[in-house]
Amino acid sequence: MRFALMIEPQQGLTYAEQLAIVQRAESVGFESFFRSDHYQSFPGPEGEPTTDAWAVLAGLARETTRITLGTLVSPVTFRPVGNLAKVVTTVDEMSGGRVEFGLGAGWNEPEHRQLGLPFPPIGERADLMEEQFAALHGLWGEADGWSFSGRRVKIEDASFHPKPVARTGRPAFPSGAARPRLLTGGEGSPRSMRIAARYVDEFNLSSSSPDTARTKFAELRAACDAIGRDPATMGRSVMAGVLIGRDAAELDRRKDAMLAAFGSDAGGEDWFSAREPRWVLGTPDKARAMVARFAEASAERIMLQDFIPRDLEMIDLMAEVLF
C-alpha cells in the first residue's frame, strides 16, 4: 500500500499552515500530497478564509523536493481547459515534474453560484469532464496544429509549449511526450468508470467501505476490458477519512477536535460509529487492520483524508504506525 495525505484547506487553512503540513508529510515519508479544490468553507463554519488550490500548489512546489503534489479533484467548472492545462503544466515545471492531477465534474452548487461560476446539470458537467480529458491529452501529447471539436470544448490549430516535464516513470503518450499522472474518481458511477478507462491512470474511490471498494474495482476492471485496456494499467486508490490516536485517551482528544472542526455538521459518538466502516479510525492496531482490508480489496494507494491537519503530531503518527 502507498500513502498520500489529503486535506481540505477550505476549512480556513492559510498558505503558511498548508506549507507546514506538506513539509511535515514529506519529512515523515508520505509519497504524495493532495488537497481539495474549493472556494467556500466547509465542513464546519461558513465564511472561513479559502485559498486557490493551484496557486497554493505552485508555492508548495518551490518549498518541497520529493513529495508529489496534486488536487483531488479540480472541478471542470472552475477553469477553461486551455487555462487549466497551462496552470497545471506551469506548476509541473516549478516542481520538477512532481504534479499529479485529479479532475472531476464538480458538485458544490453554492460555491459556484456565490462566485458567478457556471454549474450546469450533472450530465453536462460529465460531458465537459470527458472533453477536458480529451483536450488535455491532445494539448500535452499531440504535435502543433492539433484541433478538437467537441460539444463543449473546441480547440483550433493548437500550439502548446512547454509540454509537461519528461521525468522517468511518468505516463507517456504514443508520441513519447510525458505527462502528469491523471486521476478521476468519486463513488464509482458507470460513466465515471468509462471515462477513467479511456483517459486516466488512476481511479480514486471515495466514501466507500472495503467491501464496496472490492465491488467497484471489479466494475472498473470490466470497464477497462470493455475497451480493450489492460486493467493492470489502471491504478486503484481510495480516499478514506483518518483519525487515529496512540491510545484511547489520545483518540478521544482528537475526536473532540474533529467535532469542534465540523461544528454543527457533526454529532457525538454516533457520528464516528457511522464512519467506522469506511474510515481509518481508531488506535494503531485498528487503523492498520482497516488499511489491510482496503489492500485486500485491491486498493494500491490510500488517500488519508485529514480533517484536523493542524495537528501535525497525527501526521507523524500516521507514518509511524501505517507505513
Q: What is the pLDDT of residue 301?
A: 98
Q: What is the pLDDT of residue 184?
A: 97
Provide CB contacts within 8 A for 106, sequence distance 6+. Answer: 75, 76, 77, 78, 112, 119, 125
SS (HEC) of 69-115: EEEEEEECCCCCHHHHHHHHHHHHHHHCCCEEEEEECCCCHHHHHHH
Element (H or E) spanning 127, and its range? helix 122-141
Bridge partners of residue 167, in order along the sequence: none
Q: Would the pTM count as exceeding 0.75?
A: yes
Q: What is the pLDDT of residue 307?
A: 97
pLDDT by residue for the chain (323 residues), tens digit each? 999 999 999 999 999 999 999 999 999 999 999 999 999 999 888 899 999 999 999 999 999 999 999 999 999 999 999 999 999 999 999 999 999 999 999 999 999 999 999 999 999 999 999 999 999 999 999 999 999 999 999 999 999 999 999 999 999 999 999 999 999 999 989 999 999 999 999 999 998 999 999 999 999 999 999 999 999 999 999 999 999 999 999 999 999 999 999 886 677 778 999 999 999 999 999 999 999 999 999 999 999 999 999 999 999 999 999 99
Q: What is the pLDDT of residue 270?
A: 86
Q: What is the pLDDT of residue 71?
A: 98
CA atoms within 13 A on the CB side of 261: 21
Grid coordinates belonging to 66? 520529493
Q: What is the pLDDT of residue 100?
A: 98
Q: In the chain, where are the structural domains located?
A: 2-322
Q: Residue 296 and residue 211: Cα distance in Å, rounded?
A: 10
**3-class state of residue 263 by DSSP:** helix
Q: What is the pLDDT of residue 263?
A: 82
Q: What is the pLDDT of residue 265?
A: 64
Q: What is the pLDDT of residue 264?
A: 64
CATH of span 2-322: 3.20.20.30
Q: Residue 14 and residue 193: Cα distance in Å, rounded?
A: 34
Cα distance from N-terminal residue to C-terminal residue, the chain: 8
